[in-house]
Structure 1
Amino acid sequence: MAITPQLSPKPRVLIVGGGYAGLYVAKNLEKKVKERGGVVTLVDPNPYMTYQPFLPEVVGGNIEPRHIVVDHRTHLKNSEIVQGKVIKVEHSRKTATVQTQDGSEFEIPYQDVVMTAGATTRVFPIPGLGEAGIGMKTVQEAVQLRNQILDRLEAASTMTDAVARSRALTFAVVGGGFNGVETISEMEDLIRSVIKKNPRLAQSDARIVLIEAMGKIMPEVGEDQAVEVVEHLKSRGIEVLLNTSLAGAEGGVLKLINMQDKSDAGSFETDTLVWTAGVAANAVAKQTDFPVEQRGRIEVTPTLQISDGDGGVLEGAWGAGDVCAVPDLTGDGPGGHCVPNAQHAVRQAKRLAANLLAVRFGEGAVEEYVHKSLGAVAGLGFGKGVGNPMGLKLSGVPAWLAHRGYHGLAMPTYERKARVVSDWLLSVVFGRDTTPIEGLENPHNPFLEAAGGELKPGRFDNPKVLESAKSSK
């Protein structure tokens, strides 16, 4: 066990996870806890919170990647920030174990703990998926996917091998939820924009495929709107394969299965596979002594206090967001729980903070979290969208405006809102940015090449290209 870094000796509210819920819990507590002689400590592997609904627009080139993240130290000036990963929580000892980037570990004692570690990408044991695919959960993945698309388009424009060219110009997304549909829509817009600028490519050269295991996409909207979205995507040349599951991805060869009769649904090759088929609670939930339900989420009560497993609550233990099974008292949530989205996370964070102050300092009354969904809106590329805000069915430009209006307001901090809106205005005036940034995975390669060293392959690098570079020295 490494020596514990210098941390405040004051009574601590420890927040595990600095995503949407964690950031807002800290913002609502930090000054009030400080005034009462305590300290709020936020622990997260990243020094920022990512506004995930904007990841598809990063891929599409409408928003600068840094503008969708909110720096913890900049916007939580009265909190203690620890960049590290919580790997264990022992509430019986009121202690959390943190692992830093260099692998060292230390313990942090607390008076109250708030579990807001969020969710990670849910994957299945599909052969080759880990090597061939990329998720859409982090800003790094969005940037990498964008560069991968631009790289494949440029490379294909000079290829003479028909098979390799077809593979480079084939783009697949697995998962037909909001994230998958928004991602493939922005990808199509980006691909279309790039091809227009390259005379060696034609729009008909690109193949874009959406793969969904269920018979319907976007469960957040009604059946009629989901059908309309499928028709809209098809009108843009996107193939939509419903009732189809990915069975294998070894070597970039996607093998498909028909989910209705479990028959072979064919296969095709691609250099770009995006996985957006759901999320899972952060694994730290199972590294605690809190009760965890069958989906791996921490059990909490309607007051956002962690359950003791016997109908009561654990003193000093709180939870909100995607890592917790929060009861949906409106009865609308699947399985009786709130769906994992930003709409719930920010409201849960505010209620949790108020309840914690009520229990710890006797300020106000403890209340149950109740929020009826305001509906959902999705962007389908520039000027296109779908949604049902407040029960009103929207599509096209009105839905797109509602999408940008809602998420522009929901983006944390005025500073970040201003940067995002500025990006949108610039893209309207000058068009989307289609400039790739090369070599992000291995920025040391140019220096290695100059020094005569061995180049390091990146995730999507073609080994033949690297061999060619070595042999030309």
Structure 2
Amino acid sequence: MPKILIVGGGYAGFYTAWKLEKWLRSGEAEVTIVDPLPYMTYQPFLPEVAAGSIEPRHAVVSQRRHLKKTNIVSAKVTHINHAEKKATITPPTGDSWDFDYDIVVVTAGAVSRTFPIPGVADQAIGLKTIEEAVAIRDRVLTNFDKAAALPAGPERDRLLTFVVVGGGFAGIEIFAELRSFATSLLTSYPEISFDEVHFHLIEAMGRIMPEVSLKTSLWVIDNLAARGAQIHLDTQLKSAVDGVIELSTGETFETDLIVWTAGVMANPTIVRHTDLPIEDRGRLQVRADLRVGTEDDIVADAWGAGDVSAVPDLSGGGVGGNCVPNAQHAVRQGKLLAKNIVAVLRGEGPQEYLHKNLGAVAGLGVGIGVFQSGKIAITGLPAWFAHRGYHGMAMPSWERKLRVVWGWVNNFFLGRDIVSLSAVQTPRAAFEEFASRPKPPVEASAPAAAAPRAPRAPRAPRKPIVKAAKPAATDTAALSTTPESAPTDAVVDEVIAERDAAQASASK
């Protein structure tokens, strides 16, 4: 039985495994998927997660819940030696090992691509993972909490200034969603006014959202400007050291949140550690039928799809002749990849990938969206419904669809949840603050070094006092001493004995 290894559990990898489970016959192949995360992230929902419109766990799909026949390994593939058909698997703990396979499917996805701008690596945060989206949401909420307790001044301005770098679809969506989120928070923070909250988007090109028409992109700019958000076109980020933003225009301001969405690149962990062919831009070289190789040279038993691969766009709508790295292509490539693998196993020929982009849709905050299909453009509330309808249905499995849609319904009636859980990033901090610890050896031995105090010899018991007219006064007189003249244990015992004897005599 051939062993199929899927490297990466994102869109393409998850859908490949999901469909292989459906189309493979029992015993026809053994499928293993390796990914450091135990879930697939539906990335189009990340802006809404960051804006508190979607519960974070609803935007991910559990591999173990939905892949019932696939072997799941939570680890990284750190090397692929296709000549020997071996992959090195490195788990979070323990030693690496070699995995022997017959067919390899490379769907390792992409990571944020940054430039060597001072301060970006230390201050910015990406938008590729669910953890990043949650951190952005919590940072916005925490900053509002801090700013509400501060007087007007530089520190308050810094906390209420938010920056997004990159004017593509992802950048505009997170920018607009956060602006909508911040506006909705003002009703709960009467200490903060609308004019005190500042949003800046930095784009090096002369326009935003190249996937839509220029007219539509200008509408988005005007809409965001009316909502108090500023877009800097033809502007480059020069420095972000310590949160101090320096632009190529000479403008300078401080911020506590920088979201980086200015591009992606193929997962370097894979493309830099394999003998499979890599094209000029650092992606896996893949044919139109999703087999690794070129038109003239096919690498047997190796397949690729998704953002890590350069897949030819036969529709003619791609960039540089290849499909753009987005969810729309990755999902469809994953489905076709599973179908082609099954076909080749059964001696049939694979199909070529061909998908003509039907349009682009984006959410720009609650009730505002934009949709572009050819020359047809829709903006405002209808486009927002189109955005939610499309992505609600595109979410894998009915279980996930229902959770997302139900969350939207809850928010409509109850509003967004505005609780910051930033403390989960340091979950032991509260426990550590008050936890008792053993004393250092020097302190522990210091009392023992002091000479023990010899106990006082007990006095001879006195005769019982017959007079018992005022026993209470005897107690008070004997025990009412100042801290400087406090009685010893022996004296206290003596007084108690006298009191007991007096009470016994009185009772007779």
**Shared fold (TM-score, shorter chain, > 0.5):** yes
- Cα contact 2:148–2:191 (8 A) shared by 1: yes
Alignment correspondent of 1:17: 8
Structure 1 distance, partners of 2:108, 2:133, is: 20
Q: Which amino acid aligns with 2:284?
A: I
The farther-off stretch of 223-232 and 342-351 is: 342-351
- Cα contact 1:134–1:274 (8 A) shared by 2: yes
Structure 1 distance, partners of 2:428, 2:222, is: 45
Q: Look up the SS of the partner of 2:341 in the other structure.
A: helix
Q: Look up the SS of the partner of 1:439 in the other structure.
A: helix
- Cα contact 2:395–2:401 (8 A) shared by 1: yes
Superposition misfits of 4+ residues, deviation over 2 angstroms: 30-34, 389-392
Confirm whether residue 388 of structure 1 aligns to residue 379 of structure 2.
no
Confirm whether residue 379 of structure 1 aligns to residue 370 of structure 2.
no
* 1:329 pairs with one of 314, 322, 329: 314
* 1:356 pairs with one of 327, 330, 341: 341
Asked which structure has the greater CA Rg, the reply is 2
Q: Note the 1:12-411 alignment, pairs <5 A.
A: 12-33=3-24, 35-102=26-93, 104-160=95-151, 162-258=153-249, 265-283=250-268, 284-307=270-293, 311-362=296-347, 364-389=348-373, 391-411=375-395
Structure 2 distance, partners of 1:311, 1:104, is: 39
Structure 1 distance, partners of 2:29, 2:290, is: 21
Q: Deviations over 1:227-271 (max 9, x none)?
A: 11011110100011001111111111011114xxxxxx2211001
- Cα contact 1:30–1:39 (8 A) shared by 2: no
Distance 1:140 1:176, change over 3 A: same
Taking structure 2 as the reference length, the TM-score comes to: 0.84
Q: Look up the SS of the partner of 1:369 in the other structure.
A: coil
Q: Look up the SS of the partner of 1:233 in the other structure.
A: helix
Alignment correspondent of 1:460: none
Structure 2 distance, partners of 1:34, 1:90, is: 28
Distance 1:310 1:37, change over 3 A: closer
Distance 1:452 1:190, change over 3 A: farther
Structure 2 distance, partners of 1:224, 1:390, is: 13
Q: Look up the SS of the partner of 1:86 in the other structure.
A: strand
Structure 2 distance, partners of 1:336, 1:254, is: 36
Q: Which amino acid aligns with 1:440?
A: V
How far 1:390 sits from its partner (Å)?
Answer: 6.0
Q: CA RMSD in A?
A: 1.4
- Cα contact 2:139–2:422 (8 A) shared by 1: no
Q: Which amino acid aligns with 1:439?
A: A
Structure 2 distance, partners of 1:162, 1:32, is: 63
Structure 2 distance, partners of 1:93, 1:365, is: 25
Identity %: 49
Structure 2 distance, partners of 1:244, 1:180, is: 15
How many equivalent residue pairs?
Answer: 436
How far 1:154 sits from its partner (Å)?
Answer: 0.9
Structure 2 distance, partners of 1:35, 1:148, is: 49
How far 1:37 sits from its partner (Å)?
Answer: 3.5
How far 1:384 sits from its partner (Å)?
Answer: 0.3
Structure 1 distance, partners of 2:373, 2:402, is: 24
Q: Deviations over 1:389-448 (max 9, x none)?
A: 465311001111111111011111110000000011111111122121141210100001
Q: Look up the SS of the partner of 1:114 in the other structure.
A: strand
Taking structure 1 as the reference length, the TM-score comes to: 0.90
Structure 2 distance, partners of 1:32, 1:379, is: 35
Q: Deviations over 1:257-288 (max 9, x none)?
A: 14xxxxxx221100111111111111112211
- Cα contact 1:33–1:40 (8 A) shared by 2: no
- Cα contact 1:34–1:40 (8 A) shared by 2: no
Q: Look up the SS of the partner of 1:244 in the other structure.
A: coil
Uncovered stretches (5+) of structure 1, i.e. residues with no partner? 1-9, 259-264, 454-473
Structure 1 distance, partners of 2:33, 2:25, is: 14
The farther-off stretch of 283-292 and 235-244 is: 283-292
Q: Deviations over 1:290-336 (max 9, x none)?
A: 111121100011110000x5722111000000000000011110100
Structure 2 distance, partners of 1:430, 1:161, is: 32
Structure 2 distance, partners of 1:137, 1:391, is: 30
Structure 1 distance, partners of 2:144, 2:182, is: 8
